[in-house]
Structure 1
Amino acid sequence: MKFSKEIKVGILTVGAIALFVFGYQYLKGRNLLTDDRSFYAVYDNVEGLTASAPVTINGLRVGNIDDIDFLDSSGRLLVKFHVDESFKFSSESIASVYSTSLIGGKALAIIPNYDSKARPAKPGDTLMSNTDNGFQGKLMDEFFPLKDKIEHMVVSADSVLTAVNKTLNPTTRRAITTSLEEVNSTLVQIRLFSKNANSVLTDNREKLDRTITNLDATTKNFAAISDTLAQVKIAGTVKQLESAIAKFNLVLDDVA
């Protein structure tokens, strides 16, 4: 059967449109050849989540974000996403926005609720929402308490540097330079004095040795004389004591 040129053109056009739609949906992360389910979640802030961002369950990619739009005049956001049919979860599960890396990038994680009493999620259900700050949020939570202290330290350091700059004006710098020169000159004189003293001690070492030897001998002689004097005094005292005792004995004899 032969087709007219118009039919061939129409078939090619329809095929091109279908291929374009398929490719566009595939680039958005949605495969039209597989069955999937669409769900919703409402957020006050999606933290930078964008369309085509991955949807994961336990870290495995199972779908993508289809659309994000304002829900009402309060500014809340309605997120539409699809999940393939390979995993079942309950309607009590949570759709949590989280960071995929430290430098950015957001994704949606479905945290399944395994309660057997919970109703299985059906296409079109709105899941409970949550925002997980992840490692980046924890890092910022740790940093913010230190922020004020760091700012105070920076201000204090700036004040100190300003005070130092004001203190070290040209006049003060000249005075410091002069003082350092005087200190250096004094140290030079002290070194010269020390060198001269060493020279004097070296030149008179023999005399000093003799003087010290004589002083030592004199000390020994003085000690000997002192001992002699002490012995002389003690001996005289003992003799006087013996004489007194003898006289006392004579008196006792007379009395008797």
Structure 2
Amino acid sequence: MKKYSNEFKVGLFVIICVFGLFYLSYSTGKINLGEGGYRIYAVFEDISGLGEKSPVMVNGLEAGKVDNIDVVYGEGRTRMVLELWIKEGVKIRENPKISIKTLGMMGEKYIQISSRQGEGFIEPGERLEGEPFIDMDELMSNINSLTDEVKKLSQNLNYTVEDNQDEISRLIKNLEATSKNLEEFSADVKRHPWKLLFKTK
């Protein structure tokens, strides 16, 4: 049986490790083998759970993915810098709107780039400001809280009306009597306009 030297075994192990690392890099998207493309950067205050490999959509078309996420600690605030890989041939016009969206009921997040009208296109490596993320759960919670407050206000108004029902009824009767008197006075003036000029005894 043929024996292999220790040097051969070590060399074979190193080769296997290199191929293994290469495969992992390719499968996780760090290496885009056989694909061209370019990278741009999007900056957000909050990415709300968005992760690496998340899709990048340009006007609704899947056109890339999130390659890397860095946390940058600046003066007085913390920001997230996303490295976005964009497929070759996909052009994004200047001053695009970049935002984080949620896909379907499962809540998978992705980057949406809305390429606006314009003459020029952004260049590879450009750094762009992202739009604030709108948390739908938080928005619905605020709407529910507002609905509860409106219900409480409505109940308080009902209680106020019930507690002052007699007073409100008297007020309505007085208004009806005043309206009737005004109608009678108006009709009398139409029949006898001279009463406006001479005070009757």
Given the alignment of the two structures, is residue 39 of structure 1 paired with residue 70 of structure 2, yes or no?
Answer: no
Q: What is the one-letter code of the residue matched to 2:27? A: Y
Q: What is the root-mean-square deviation in Å for CA atoms of aligned residues?
A: 3.2
CA distance in 1, matches of 2:70, 2:145: 31
Contact 1:93/1:111 (<8 A) preserved = yes
Matched-pair contact (CA < 8 Å) for 1:51–1:65 = yes
Is residue 63 of structure 1 aligned with residue 64 of structure 2?
yes
Cα distance in 2 for partners of 1:122, 1:18 equals: 34
Give TM-score, length-normalised by structure 1: 0.47
Q: Which amino acid aligns with 1:27?
A: T
User: Which residues of 2 match residues 35-184 of structure 1 at below 5 A?
Assistant: 35-73=36-74, 74-116=77-119, 118=120, 120-131=121-132, 133=134, 139-140=140-141, 142-149=143-150
Richer in helix (by share): 1
TM-score by length of 2: 0.58
SS in 1 for 2:48: coil
The amino acid of 1:21's aligned partner reads F
Cα distance in 1 between the residues matched to 2:23 and 2:31: 9
Between the aligned partners of 1:132 and 1:65, the Cα distance in structure 2 is: 16
Larger Rg belongs to: 1
Tell me if structure 2 keeps the 8 A contact 1:43–1:129.
Answer: yes
Deviation of 1:70 (Å): 1.9
CA contact (8 A) 1:30 1:63 kept: no
Distance 1:134 1:12 in 2: 49
Three-state SS of the structure 2 residue aligned to 1:92 is: coil
Give the C-alpha shift of residue 72 in structure 1.
Answer: 2.2
- Residues 176-208 of structure 1 show CA distances to partners (whole Å, capped at 9, x for unaligned) of xxxxxxxxxxxxxxxxxxxxxxxxxxxxxxxxx
Q: Secondary structure at the match of 1:148?
A: helix
Gapped runs of 5+ residues in structure 1? 157-256
Identity of aligned residues (%): 20
Given that 1:26 and 1:32 are in contact with CA atoms closer than 8 Å, whether structure 2 keeps it comes out as: no
Say if 1:96 and 1:108, in contact at 8 Å, map to a contact too: yes
Q: Which runs of no fewer than 5 residues in structure 2 stay unpaired? A: 157-201
Q: Which has the higher strand share?
A: 2
How many matched pairs? 148
